[in-house]
Structure 1
Amino acid sequence: MAARLTRSVLVAMCFVCVGGTPAAAQSDLLGSKRGGHYWFDFCTGKSDATLLPPDPRSLVTPTANKNVVFNVGWNSCMNRAPLTCGELRSTNAAGGRLLGGNGNPDAGWEFSGHSAWSLWSMSASQYNALWLRWGLPFRPSDFDNLVAERYGTPLSAQRNPYPLPFEDPNRTNGGSGQLPMALTQTRNPDGSWSGQIGVTCSVCHSGQIGKASDGAGLGALHGTNGLTDASLFLGELGGLNPAFTIASLNRIRGTGNITNFQLFALLTIFDPDGTIPGVILNPEIWAAGSTGTEDPPNWWNLGHRPVKFFDAGMSSDATRIELSWYMPGAALPNYEGGYDWILENEYEANTWMLGLKSPAYPLPVNTALAQQGSVLFHTLDLWAANRNNPVVKPQQAGNGSCASCHGAYAPRYVNDPNFLANPLFEGMAANVTAINVIDTDEARLLANDGAVETQAKNSFFGYNGQDGCAEKYNMIGYLAQPLYGVWASGPYFHNGSVPNLWSLLKSSDRPRIWRRKSKSPRFGVVMGFETDLATAYDQTKVGWKYDTIACSHLTFSPFNHCNPWDPNETPLIEGGLSLLYGNGALAWNLLGSIVAPSFSNSDIEDRKIYNTRMFSQSNSGHTFTDVLTDAERTALIEYMKTL
């Protein structure tokens, strides 16, 4: 392997090759904080009275003279942070009760805050009858598991009860059934069980990596990219309100139309100081286009991002929007009560999110190869003269390495002032890469144009125009992500169009139409993606195994369009639809909810297929890594397993 690496890299890592080098001297090339926020590591073993240092994110300013480039910085919006380790711990616990679900009396749920009932809830009797909707002649014995599989939301790792038929939840401590992570049984004001079920943030922000027995932190996970078929889930479990399928329509299982700012504006449509008359009377808002397919980013990286969303659209301290899914009175005249609820709870929710950690890679790692990959990751210049990279070099390229955008992780480089101005910036990613460099699908950028940005900035969620809280930075492009837990984050890109790290680094190996390995149907019920590490995880390419799909398979599918005579081209029907979606903010949502109000089993299976020729689903871009050799890719991937 080493013989195939470039001479410059061999020189940089020569100490690794010298026989007899002590292991301790090599350890500064590996190591990972696994995300989360610096404060939680700082407070380990310290008393509650210990004062907290400043938030490292608040120290980030644009810096172009380091090997790691920061071209965006921090802005204070919430203006509230814990002062001591004790406050951090208590606030984190309160946020966990709010966002964790599991029937906790303090758990929030969709558009209802902590309420016991609303039009957005469904009764346990409705839930218990879902098997009838599936067309089954009887309730299957593994009903709870089939719910989780059909909709793609893991069963909670903790007890998450609901009452089975004829059960009184208040005589059975909530009931004998087990809900998936995306659902929680609500509580009455006195703490008793309500028998009503609401949807939590885990409908989009939960996943599963192997089993709990595979290693610490594995199994069902909060805050990772999703597995859910959101339209199917919300359409069949959405209680009495059909608006669910419009608000969170998705085309591909595991993705969603998540950061559509026009939809966020509609949540506050009755606020005369926020969206009226801007949203209703401004045609530019509705002609901006849809953001389309998006793959939720990992919450465990929030503590290493001074800004958030794929285009750096908000400061990470702009936390109101994180509770928008729970806002009581959303899109109703009593919106002010919703504002108050968010202001009362955003601090706790955000603190809990900051404390989440990524799971450690549980499979064998070639340590020597990973060390080589660490050197490559932090020092290999992708635009070196001998690389002849055809992609335009970024104006602020740092040292041209992977680390220049995604941050430094190995102690050797974290503590090198040529890489970072402050070692507290370990793992920090604060670089927006211009679209002409990154060249990934631009639907997300085009949708959130100047008119939308202005409207979002002046809304409640944008802190009513407070400087730096909700606005795109001058660079039009996508924000590079921190890479903690990157091994557990596939599929990749902001739209989830690339199945593994190998094809992310080598664009010619990306499949055009593909589907993750899935479990076989049971009792005629469609099952979800396979998440078993032994059978479904690709240790070499790092990502979930998949099957390529022939274009001819999609010819008559209403959810995928393909031209079997020229599968490399976007078919005429999809080209026309893309024009509509790109010039109508809710066209993607509305058309989908009208054309496909219900799904057959074959439809549900087809919604697992990722067709990169459809609107917002291109797998183009990040081709500057095509100049790597296969040996270098192998070493880089081995290193990324350790992050």
Structure 2
Amino acid sequence: MIRRTTVWICGLLCLLSVASACHAGEPDPAAGYDHLINTTYLPPYFDQETFDNVWRIWPEPLRSQAEKSTPDERRQMAFDRYGLTGRPEAPTKPLQYVVDKKGNWTLNCFSCHGGEIDGKPLPGLPNNRFDFAGITDDIRLTKALLGKKMVATDYSSLVFPLGENKGTTNAVNFGVALISLRDADLNFVPGARFPRMLHHDMEPPPWWHFSRKDNLYIDGFAPKGHRALLQFTMVRENGAKSFREREDDFRDIYAYLNSLESPKYSGQIDPQKAEAGRIVFNKHCSECHGTYGENATYPQRMVAIDEIKTDRARLDALSPEHREVYGKSWFNEYGEKAGLIADPAGYVAPPLDGVWATAPYFHNGSVPTLWHVLHPEQRPQIWQWAGKQYDHQKMGITVTELSEIPVGLPAIDKREVFDTSRFGKSAAGHDFPNSLSEEEKDVVLEYLKTL
């Protein structure tokens, strides 16, 4: 009897120990994903009825096509129009929005960081089709048609640039604007106003690079941490207290980002060419982009802007003062977190895991394929999406090269046309591949499929 009691007590103590550990809240990647798709950190933007009726304000002949379609077909048409995808585990539910039990839709982080490759949704993939301005404008018109109440977001595209091209957003200035209204503790400052900003568009990075970095963003200015992930929840409805209350959620989200791995290339690979490409890559490219396979390395090298020569709008958009405001705030533990770079010299060369899936390229999304990255002199000045099919020959998105912007395009279609002559959209720079022969470029392209 004593022995049984001892065993029972030991078992109970083990259960209590497990329960205590769970209650302590060890960061959980699975919980992090669940938070992103099921927890609202922003106020809702619109409801299910609005989304179901958005087709009513579409131009012809799209509206008539939608009218003749089933609800499921109309939903897919709307997903395609705005760059939304279904969730891998629930194809009819949007990956990019939290939809609550009342049918309210709230934007989440997957709007920029959850896309589609080869027809399959992939959380963590840059969403190269998301049209923030397009869905905002169409939802506003649909609400007006249905007599629905407007919210602040409905007017945002009228007063703040959201993104000139599908797949890009004015994300840096979202952060600058939001933090400019708060003090270091994230309390609102009465009378605070937005500073002068240099508006420009950015292509989001893939989330599976997160685990390889110590600092965030293309200029590498911000030390990595779970608090940094809360920046884009700084809407007026969220007071300073809300950020503290959500820390455990974002520890889970941080763990989720750290757990992501790059997708494997879905096409055919020539092993002999790829091996030849590995040798060329390690000789010419690894100094900045790292090595791969066993004993992989990533140097996190900052390349001076005068050396890389890519578009500098992103670098100039944040002043040292902007970066210091962030660095001294709660997000960066009031400056106690080491590693802030207030005045970076240029851009940090990214790792290239899964690079085959992340077109278009450069931090502003100006280069449509890896072939064009390797052929600087042949990058198109103006290009247009030619469908969602993946270009396995040039490794990137399928595009049509244009000599000029087509006249009379609706705004939402015009955002599928990329003009590299516009401010912040240059495709120049990173001309290092000019030192390679055509044969070397060909085998490097094959090697990039293996990463």
TM-score category of the 2 structures, normalised to the smaller one: 0.7 to 0.9
Structure 1 position 624, deviation (Å):
2.0
* Structure 2 Cα separation of the partners of residues 127 and 407 of structure 1: 44
- Cα 1:638–1:272, aligned 2, differ >3 Å: closer, same or farther? closer
- Please list the CA deviations of residues 503-539 of structure 1 after superposition, one character each: whole Å capped at 9, or x if unmatched: 2122101000001212xxxxxxxxxxx1xxxxx3222
- Is the contact made by 1:427 and 1:483 (CA closer than 8 Å) also made in structure 2? no
Aligned partner of 1:96 among 30, 33, 56: 33
Corresponding pairs, count: 410
Aligned partner of 1:331 among 229, 232, 236: 236
* Structure 1 Cα separation of the partners of residues 182 and 312 of structure 2: 31
Which residue number in structure 2 is paired with residue 629 of structure 1? 437
The structure with higher relative contact order (CA 8 Å, sep 6+) is: 1
- Is the contact made by 1:517 and 1:547 (CA closer than 8 Å) also made in structure 2? yes
Aligned partner of 2:262 among 344, 354, 358: 358
Which residue number in structure 2 is paired with residue 250 of structure 1? 163
* Structure 2 Cα separation of the partners of residues 270 and 457 of structure 1: 13
Structure 2 matches for 1:223-242, cutoff 5 A? Answer: 223-226=124-127, 227-237=129-139, 240-241=151-152, 242=154
* Structure 2 Cα separation of the partners of residues 500 and 306 of structure 1: 28
- Cα 1:618–1:339, aligned 2, differ >3 Å: closer, same or farther? same
1:220 aligns with 2:144: no
- Cα 1:279–1:251, aligned 2, differ >3 Å: closer, same or farther? farther
1:464 aligns with 2:375: no
Unaligned 5+ runs, structure 1: 1-82, 102-106, 112-117, 161-177, 187-192, 212-218, 380-400, 415-425, 519-529, 531-535, 558-600
- Please list the CA deviations of residues 483-505 of structure 1 after superposition, one character each: whole Å capped at 9, or x if unmatched: 10001111110001011112212
Unaligned 5+ runs, structure 2: 1-20, 141-149
More strand by share: 2
* Structure 1 Cα separation of the partners of residues 356 and 55 of structure 2: 36
- Is the contact made by 2:391 and 2:398 (CA closer than 8 Å) also made in structure 1? yes
Structure 2 matches for 1:534-613, cutoff 5 A? Answer: 536-551=389-404, 553-554=405-406, 602-613=410-421
Which residue number in structure 2 is paired with residue 131 of structure 1? 55
- Cα 1:180–1:230, aligned 2, differ >3 Å: closer, same or farther? same
Structure 2 matches for 1:314-325, cutoff 5 A? Answer: 314-317=222-225, 319-325=226-232
Which residue number in structure 2 is paired with residue 140 of structure 1? 69
Structure 2 matches for 1:195-594, cutoff 5 A? Answer: 195-211=103-119, 219-226=120-127, 227-237=129-139, 240-241=151-152, 242-245=154-157, 249-260=162-173, 261-266=175-180, 269-271=181-183, 273=185, 280=192, 286-290=195-199, 292-317=200-225, 319-326=226-233, 330-332=235-237, 335-379=239-283, 401-411=284-294, 414=295, 426-468=296-338, 470-472=340-342, 475-518=344-387, 530=388, 536-551=389-404, 553-554=405-406
Question: Which amino acid is 1:257 matched to?
Answer: N
Structure 1 position 355, deviation (Å):
1.2
* Structure 1 Cα separation of the partners of residues 88 and 136 of structure 2: 22
Question: Which amino acid is 1:628 matched to?
Answer: L
- Cα 1:124–1:287, aligned 2, differ >3 Å: closer, same or farther? closer
- Is the contact made by 1:300 and 1:354 (CA closer than 8 Å) also made in structure 2? yes
* Structure 2 Cα separation of the partners of residues 248 and 108 of structure 1: 27
Structure 1 position 309, deviation (Å):
0.2
Structure 1 position 429, deviation (Å):
4.2
Structure 1 position 366, deviation (Å):
0.8
- Is the contact made by 1:265 and 1:279 (CA closer than 8 Å) also made in structure 2? no
Which residue number in structure 2 is paired with residue 583 of structure 1? none
Question: Which amino acid is 1:409 matched to?
Answer: Y
Q: RMSD value over aligned CA atoms?
A: 2.7
- Is the contact made by 1:230 and 1:248 (CA closer than 8 Å) also made in structure 2? no
* Structure 2 Cα separation of the partners of residues 87 and 402 of structure 1: 41
- Cα 1:475–1:201, aligned 2, differ >3 Å: closer, same or farther? closer
More helix by share: 2
Question: Which amino acid is 2:395 matched to?
Answer: V
- Please list the CA deviations of residues 125-158 of structure 1 after superposition, one character each: whole Å capped at 9, or x if unmatched: 2222212222536373111101101101112222
- Is the contact made by 2:187 and 2:240 (CA closer than 8 Å) also made in structure 1? no
- Is the contact made by 1:288 and 1:446 (CA closer than 8 Å) also made in structure 2? no
Structure 1 position 475, deviation (Å):
4.4
- Please list the CA deviations of residues 82-115 of structure 1 after superposition, one character each: whole Å capped at 9, or x if unmatched: x99x987x6111101111x1xxxxx22352xxxx
* Structure 1 Cα separation of the partners of residues 450 and 272 of structure 2: 12
- Is the contact made by 1:406 and 1:482 (CA closer than 8 Å) also made in structure 2? yes
Aligned partner of 1:158 among 72, 89, 113: 89
Structure 1 position 335, deviation (Å):
1.1
- Is the contact made by 2:360 and 2:367 (CA closer than 8 Å) also made in structure 1? yes
* Structure 1 Cα separation of the partners of residues 179 and 328 of structure 2: 10
